[in-house]
Structure 1
Amino acid sequence: MKTNKWLLLVALSLVLSLVLAACGNKDKDEDKTAAPDKEDDKATEQPTEEAGEPDAEQVLNLIESAAIPSVDSAIVEDAVGFNVLNNVNEGLYRLNLENIAEPAMAAEEAEVSEDGLTYTFKLRDANWSDGTPVTAHDFVFAWQRAIDPATGSPYGPFMMSGVIKNATAISEEKMDKSELGVVAEDDKTLVVTLERPVPYFLSLMSFGTFYPQKEEFVTSKGDAYATNSDNLLYNGPFILTEWDGTGDSWVYKKNEHYWDADNVKLETINVDVVKDSATAVKLYNDGKKDRAGVSGDLALQYGTHEEARNESDTAVFYFKFNQERGGKETPLANVNIRKAIAKSFEKEDLADVVLANGSTAANFLVPRDFAYDESGTDFRDISGDHLVYNAEEAKEYWAKGLEELGVTELELEILGGDTELSKKMDEYFKSQLEGNLEGLKIKLKEVPFAVRLELDGNQDYDIQVSGWGPDFQDPISFMDLFVTGGTNNLMSFSNKEYDELIAATKDELALDPAARYEAFAKAEKILLEDEAAIAPIYQRGLIQLQKPYFKGLGVHPFGADYSYKWAYISGKE
C-alpha cells in the first residue's frame, strides 16, 4: 500500500543518479518483534488515532530488543544505535512525520548551484547540551572524521564516496581528509561540494553519519568519547542518561537546550532491553511498558487485541553464506551447497507459525511495497521470485555439492541472535535443513546482537541470520551490499557481471528509470537464482501492542526507525 509520502519520495527516487558506494540501513536485529520501538505506518493498518493535547505526566516507558553498541555518529552501524542517535542528535535536515526531509540544524532550505554540485547551508541558532553553539565547523569535523580511514567508520565511506567531492580518494588513503568537499565559510555557513549531481542529497542530510560533532569535546574525551552517556554531547530533542556503555537500560531526558524544545512534549523516556516476548507482553499488561512486540503463540493470541497494531516493515532477513573463514575456503564456496540450503527450508511455515507476526516469506532481497518504477509498478513485480522452497531440488543440489567436495557429510554453524524468537527460528532452521539434507549437521551459535556484529565484521561464521533495512527509497540500498569487496559483503562473494550491473545503475543508467530497474532485476537474479550468495528468509512484519494514550510517534521507512520528538501522552487515566 502506497501513501502520499511514498509517492513524493518515489518522484524523487526516479531521477536519482545514485552514486552511493554502499547505501544500506543498519544491520538488523532479527528479533525486533520483542521490542516496542518499531512502528511502521508507511504501509500498515493502523487504528485511527484521535488527536489530543498532552494531559498527563509526559513519561514514556519502552523496550528495546538489544543493547546499544555505539552512539558515535562516525561508528554507528546498527538499528538500535541509529535510533538512539536520531533522538539525541540532529543533522542539517530531519525526517518529519510525513518522512520528508526538512531543515533542522539548517535554518532554511539549502541554496543549490545551477549545476547541482554545490550546496550552501545556513545554520540556525542552536546549541549543544552544554550551552555552546552548534557551528558549521562541527559538521566539517564530524564528516572528516567519518571519512578518515583511521576512524574505521563503517558508514562514512558508504555514504560519502562518490557523493561528496574527494571522499573516495580520502577513504582509499590517496588524499588527506582536509580535502573533503565540505567547508565552513563562517560559523553559520556550510558549503558542500559534490562529485556529481545527487538529487536525493538533502534526504541524506537527515542520516546519522552526517550529524555534527564538537571537535573540542571529542578530542578532550579521547578514547572515552561516546563510551557512556556522560561522554557524549547532544544537540537533538533529548539527551541520553543512565547509559554506562554496556548496560541493558537507559533514559532519554528532554534537552532544554534543543532549538525546538517547545515542541518536544515528552520529559522522560525509560528504556529497558527485554529479549523475551512473553516478558515484554507481561510488562505491557502490568502497565509497566507502553508498547510491546508480540510473536509466535502470543501473536496469535493478541493479533485481534483492541490495542494491537499490525505493522509491515521494509527489513528483509536472509542467510549470509560465508565462503571464506580464517583465510580458508569454506564448503559454502560451492554454489550447489548454497543452493541446496537456500531451497531446503519452508519459509511460509516459518512466517505463519514460528513468527506469526505479519512477516511474510521472502523469495527476494529488495522488499515488497518499497520501490516503484515511474509507472508505479512495485519492483517485486518486475523482478519476480527467486530461490523458492523446493525440497526435491534442494536434495539434488546437495548431492551434487557433496560429490564436488568429495565428502558425504558436512557440519555447518548457524550464527543467530540470543532472543526468544531468534532461538525458535534457529531450531526451525536446524530441523528443516537436517531433515531435508542427508549428511548435514547444524550447530547453533546464539549470541547477543553486538557480538554478532563483531563476528560478522571479522567474517567469523559459516551461515549467519542477517537482515537489512533501507536508508532511502531505492533498490540500490539493498543491491549495493554485495558488490565485490563491499564493506557489508563480509562473506567473500564476488561476481563480475553483478558488479557491472550495479555500477551501471549509478552511472550510464542513472537517468533511465526503466533500464535501471531492469539492471537491478538482472542483478538480483544473479545474486539469488544463479549464485545463491544469500538465501532470503522473510520480510518482517510486526504486531505491536501500544497504549492508546501514546500518540505522535514518528515512524520512518528508511534511516532511523522512529522519532520521539513529536510523541506525547494524552488521555491516560
Structure 2
Amino acid sequence: MIVRLVGGLEYKMNFKYGIPTMSRRDFLKAGSTAGLVFLGAGLAGCGGGTKSGTSANISAQKTVNIAVSSAAMALDPIVAGDSVSMGLISNCCEGLFVKDIDNQSVNGLCDTYEVSDDQMTYTFHIRDGVKWSNGDPVTAADFVYAWQRNAKAENGAADFQYQIEMAAIKDYSDVLAGTKDVSELGVEAKDGSTIVMTLEHPVPFLLDLLAFTPWAPVQQKFREDKGSSFALTKDDMLCCGAYTLTQYDVSGNTITLTKNPDYWDAVNVDVDVINLQVISDTQQAVMAFENGTVDYVQLTGDLVNQYKDTDGFAKEAGNFNYYLMINTTLPGLSNLNFRKAIAYALNREDICNNVLKDGSTPVNQMCMVGLFTKEDGTDFAAASPQLYTYDVEKAQETWKQAQQETDVREFTILYDQEKDFAQTTCAYIQDTLQKTLDGLTINLESTPKKNRIAREGTHDIEVCFHAWGPDYADPTAILAMYESDHPSNYSCWKNDEFDSAYEKANTTDAGNADARWDELMRCNEICTEQAVCIPIYQTGAATITRSGIEGVTQHITGIPCYYKFVTSK
C-alpha cells in the first residue's frame, strides 16, 4: 500500500505519482491567450497602482483587478469550456487537487489519499471542516454526485464525458454507453469524508486529471433545488474554494471574487478581492499601464518591441497551441494533398517573429513543448517528427497534385473577433497562402468566440483558427481530440490506425511507460502526417509587471492561474 500524506503548508509540497517527472510550463483555455492584465486602480474602494511604478494599497484590504480578453460563458463545472469560466469555477469551487505556482498538482480539499499496489484503487480523504458557502459541510457524496453528473451528461452537457473515460473509472464504458446506470460507476462515498475510486487499469496521470474543473464537487440538494437556474448567477452556485463569487452578470463586464474566510487555507491567501474586467484591446490595457492603473499586461505584436527594454518585461512559454482546424468531410479539404500544401506553405517562423512577436514558437506537430517528458528528460514534443517545416517547393508541388484531384480552390477561415492577434495572424495566413498556392482563394470570417465554439461543436466550419490547451500533463490531453468518437473531434477525422494505437496506450500499455510512449508517439505522427489539424505555433507570453505583484501564472495544463498564489505588496 502506498500512503501519501501532505501536511503543514500543503500547497507548497509537491507529490509524484508513478509517472515521469513532468516538465513545467507553458490552459487552457482560450480567454487568457489574448492577454491578462492586472489593473491596479480599480473599482470604488479598490487599492491601485501609481504612476511611479509601484503597487500601492490605499486601504488594509488588498485588491487586484484583472482584465481578461473575453467574458465568462458558464459557471457549471461540466459546461464551462473557456479559460475565464473554468478559472472562476476552480478558484471558487476547489477540487481534491489543485495546481501550485510551479504547475505541480498538490492537495486541495483532499487531506490524504492511498493507492493500492496495483494502482487501480484510490482512497481519498477530505479535509476536516471544509464548508460550502452556505455553511454546509463538503462531503464525499458531493464529489461522487458531481462525477456522476458528468458521466451521464446531465442536460446534454457531454463535452467533458471523455474525462470519465480518461480516468478509466470502473464500468465507465457501460455507463457512458447507457447500458449501466450511473450509480454503477466505480466511485463510492464510503462515509462523509472518504471517496473510493476503482479503475479499469492504471492511469499514470490521474491526480493531475483530478485537478481540472469538471472534477469539482457539486452539492446534490442545492443543484436540484435550483433546477434550470443552477450556476446561472452568483446566487445559483455554492463555493468552497479560496474565493467566493460576489459579483457576476453574464452580460456584464466585471466579475468580483472575494476571499473566503472559511477556506481551509485562508491564512495563506494574500489578496482579499479579485476583480475581473473584460478588456479585449491590448492597446487600451497598455495605455492603462502607462497611466499607472494597470499592474500586469500581456503584450502582443509591436508592443513587445516597444516594451522589451522596460523594467518588469519578461517572456515565457504559453499554454496553448494554435492550429488551423480543418473540417475533413468537406470537398477539397478532405483531400490530403490539399491539406499538406497548406501545411508546407505556412511560414511559422515569420508568424512568430514578425506578426506575434511575443515569444510564440513554431510548432510542426500536435503537442506543445513542456507538456510531458520521459524520466531521462526527453521532451515528447521535441522528440516527435517535425513534418511540415516551411517549404515553398513542396507546397507548390503538393498543390499541383491537389488541383488534379479536386476542383475546390476556395475556403473560409473562421476566427474569434475578440482577439486582435487572431485577425492579424489570419490576414497574414490568407496573404501568404494565396501568394504561394496559385489559384487559391481564402476568405476570412470573424465571429464572437461563443459562436465559434458553438459552430465547431456542430461542425459548421470549413477551417477554424483554433487554440487548444491541455487539461492535464500527458500527451493524451492533446491527442484525445483526434480519436474518432471524441466530442472535440471538430475535424470529423477518423483513422483506424490512430484509434488502435491510442487505445493501446491507454489500456494494455498504460502501465508500461516505454510502450505507452511509443504508441503515443505514433499517434502524434499519424495525425500530423495526415494534416488533419495543421499546427502553427505554441503561444508565448510577453509581459510587463509593476513591482509588488507576484504569482501570476500561465500553467501549461488546467486553468491559467489559481489566485490563492497571487500576492500584492
The normalised TM-score by structure 2 is 0.88
Distance in 2 between residues matched to 1:545 and 1:184, nearest whole Å: 47
1:449-488 to 2 correspondences below 5 Å? 449-488=449-488
Q: Is the 8 A contact 1:13 1:473 kept in 2?
A: no
SS at match of 2:155: coil
1:27-38 to 2 correspondences below 5 Å? 27-29=29-31, 32-36=33-37
- Asked if 1:119 corresponds to 2:118, the answer is no
Distance in 2 between residues matched to 1:507 and 1:32, nearest whole Å: 34
> For residues 233-259 of structure 1, what are the alpha-carbon distances to aligned partners after superposition, in whole Å with 9 as ceiling and x for unaligned?
111111123221233321111122322
1:337-356 to 2 correspondences below 5 Å? 337-356=338-357
2:371 maps to: 370
SS at match of 1:479: helix
Q: Is the 8 A contact 1:253 1:268 kept in 2?
A: yes
User: Offset at 1:86?
Assistant: 1.6
- Asked if 1:87 corresponds to 2:86, the answer is no
Distance in 2 between residues matched to 1:98 and 1:337, nearest whole Å: 42
| Runs of at least 5 residues in structure 2 that lack an aligned partner in the other structure | 1-10, 39-53
Distance in 2 between residues matched to 1:442 and 1:199, nearest whole Å: 43
Structure 2 counterpart of 1:14, from 5, 17, 20: 20
Structure 2 counterpart of 1:149, from 130, 148, 153: 153
1:181-330 to 2 correspondences below 5 Å? 181-324=186-329, 329-330=330-331
Q: Is the 8 A contact 1:224 1:231 kept in 2?
A: yes
> For residues 38-85 of structure 1, what are the alpha-carbon distances to aligned partners after superposition, in whole Å with 9 as ceiling and x for unaligned?
xxxxxxxxxxxx9x9999641101111111111211112222222121
2:555 maps to: 556
Distance in 2 between residues matched to 1:192 and 1:10, nearest whole Å: 19
- Asked if 1:77 corresponds to 2:78, the answer is no
2:507 maps to: 507
> For residues 294-334 of structure 1, what are the alpha-carbon distances to aligned partners after superposition, in whole Å with 9 as ceiling and x for unaligned?
1111011112211212111242111111023xxxx332111
1:520-539 to 2 correspondences below 5 Å? 520-529=520-529, 531-539=530-538
User: Offset at 1:349?
Assistant: 1.0
Q: Is the 8 A contact 1:243 1:250 kept in 2?
A: yes
User: Offset at 1:517?
Assistant: 2.6
| Runs of at least 5 residues in structure 1 that lack an aligned partner in the other structure | 17-24, 38-49
Distance in 2 between residues matched to 1:215 and 1:399, nearest whole Å: 60
Q: Is the 8 A contact 2:169 2:186 kept in 1?
A: yes
SS at match of 1:253: strand
User: Offset at 1:218?
Assistant: 1.2
Distance 1:117 1:504, change over 3 A: closer
1:158 maps to: 162
Distance 1:557 1:217, change over 3 A: same
1:104 maps to: 108
- Asked if 1:130 corresponds to 2:134, the answer is yes
Distance in 1 between residues matched to 2:34 and 2:60, nearest whole Å: 28
SS at match of 1:508: coil
How many residues of Structure 1 are paired with residues of Structure 2 in the alignment? 534
AA matched with 2:473: Q
Distance 1:91 1:267, change over 3 A: same
The normalised TM-score by structure 1 is 0.88
AA matched with 1:134: V
AA matched with 1:498: F
Distance in 1 between residues matched to 2:120 and 2:372, nearest whole Å: 26
Distance 1:524 1:54, change over 3 A: farther
SS at match of 1:13: coil
Distance in 1 between residues matched to 2:356 and 2:553, nearest whole Å: 25
Distance in 2 between residues matched to 1:10 and 1:475, nearest whole Å: 18
Q: Is the 8 A contact 1:54 1:265 kept in 2?
A: no
> For residues 164-217 of structure 1, what are the alpha-carbon distances to aligned partners after superposition, in whole Å with 9 as ceiling and x for unaligned?
112222111111111111222222222222222324322322221111011121
AA matched with 1:525: E
> For residues 320-355 of structure 1, what are the alpha-carbon distances to aligned partners after superposition, in whole Å with 9 as ceiling and x for unaligned?
11023xxxx332111111111122221111101110
1:424 maps to: 424
> For residues 406-431 of structure 1, what are the alpha-carbon distances to aligned partners after superposition, in whole Å with 9 as ceiling and x for unaligned?
x2x52211011112111111111111
CA RMSD of aligned residues (A): 2.5
AA matched with 2:108: A
User: Offset at 1:497?
Assistant: 1.1
User: Offset at 1:155?
Assistant: 4.6
Q: Is the 8 A contact 2:28 2:556 kept in 1?
A: no
AA matched with 1:310: K
> For residues 477-514 of structure 1, what are the alpha-carbon distances to aligned partners after superposition, in whole Å with 9 as ceiling and x for unaligned?
21222011211112111111111121222233333333
1:440 maps to: 440
Q: Is the 8 A contact 2:348 2:390 kept in 1?
A: yes
Distance in 2 between residues matched to 1:505 and 1:122, nearest whole Å: 30
Q: Is the 8 A contact 1:554 1:566 kept in 2?
A: no
Q: Is the 8 A contact 1:128 1:134 kept in 2?
A: yes
2:333 maps to: 332
AA matched with 2:528: L
1:179 maps to: 184
Distance in 1 between residues matched to 2:444 and 2:301, nearest whole Å: 20
Distance in 2 between residues matched to 1:53 and 1:552, nearest whole Å: 18
